[in-house]
Structure 1
């Protein structure tokens, strides 16, 4: 029986992916982002929970969305530094595209919440890879304000939905080199009847 293998060229593309927030226009158009986000729906999904939701912010709506971010930041910390506010306003209003990563979890399901969350993370990684393969760049950021009621209401999140962060999306300003990745030999091992030891843990 033969086994399927990814083509070397496809694997090389995946191995060349790196995050960057040095992004300019263009961002994916409507058809492109629909196809790219479809890759997120190919993530493993035990129990068919389908916990992925993606909120796309682009064009003229970026400025208003940035103000919702600022409002949530101040709600979370009334003493938030003005410098931090200015930076967030600039990033969210000027990034070519932002994608809100919503986790639509089912706490009543027999599938553990951790598995549902992992499915969301796997979906985001699929999206990042798809962006890279289509010639775009992405950068996954977390937040310290996404749980604020005013922000959740602005996005229309239900009680069981919460944000796993945001993806900044656009076209890299320059070729993305990324930092040097560690040697895989330190992060893999073969079980041979004894406990496995990893070089990275030594």
Structure 2
């Protein structure tokens, strides 16, 4: 338990520009995704799924993002388009966590969405436990329907986040954390 608590106390995101190869290999990725899927899931709906971008898949997805950016910004300079393309080329492995939350007779959509968020967090924690760094990002293209359609989301699916995974080139300094007195209240006290 001490190792788990130590890991959780030190967990932090590593931005994609500080992630390099190697990323998780196929076996490690399978283990990470299996761990990520072990989250509260009221009704056993599995209201999420994964899309893995690695190798040539990253380049194809990056081009989808670049083309969508150009369509939104026809006057964009080449370096701006290159910057947007590069968002999916930095980390060696990226896992998109797709929310499949939908109306259900017993399970509120909000609970299903929270389950997808828990998947993202489990994935980050498991990656750090394996010695990798990671970052959970959305960026503008997580909400751009043309991008979502191009990478295979159905009209009813939404992007919970892109989890960028790789080997950290450096560990960023810890950020300021909230003071518990500012965020904790006690009912009835």
- TM-score tier after normalising by the smaller chain length: 0.7 to 0.9
The answer on whether the counterparts of 1:72 and 1:146 sit within 8 Å (CA) in structure 2 is no
**Counterpart for residue 46 of structure 1:** 42
Structure 1 residues 149 and 26: alpha-carbon distance in aligned structure 2, compared to 1, 3 A threshold: same
TM-score, with normalisation over the residues of structure 2? 0.88
Report the counterpart of residue 62 of structure 1 in structure 2.
58
The farther-off stretch of 94-103 and 9-18 is 94-103
Matched with 1:18 is 12
Give the aligned partner of residue 95 of structure 2. Answer: 99
Tell me, yes or no, if the aligned pair for 2:23 and 2:93 is still in contact at 8 Å. yes
Match for residue 177 of structure 1 among 161, 165, 173: 173
Query: Which residue does 1:157 correspond to in 2?
Result: 153
2:183 to 181, 187, 200: 187
What does 1:83-94 align with in structure 2 at a 5 Å threshold? Answer: 83-94=79-90
- Describe the shift of the 1:114–1:77 C-alpha distance in structure 2 as closer, same or farther (beyond 3 A): farther
Q: Report which of the two structures shows the higher radius of gyration computed on alpha carbons.
A: 1
Separation (CA, whole Å) in 1 of partners of 2:132 and 2:2? 21
Q: Deviations over 1:19-55 (max 9, x none)?
A: 0111111100011111111122111111222112111
Aligned residues: 187
Displacement after TM superposition at 1:143 (Å):
2.4
**CA root-mean-square deviation:** 2.0
Aligned match of 1:139 in 129, 132, 135?
A: 135
With structure 1 as the length reference, what TM-score do the two structures score? 0.83
Query: Deviation digits for residues 47-87 of structure 1, max 9, x if unmatched?
Result: 22211211111112221211011122233444455443221
164, 170, 178: which is aligned to 1:168? 164
Give me the whole-angstrom Cα distance separating, in 1, the residues matched to 2:110 and 2:78: 36
- The answer on 1:128 being equivalent to 2:120 is no
Question: Which moves more between the two structures, 178-187 or 56-65?
Answer: 178-187
* In 2, Cα distance between equivalents of 1:156 and 1:184: 41
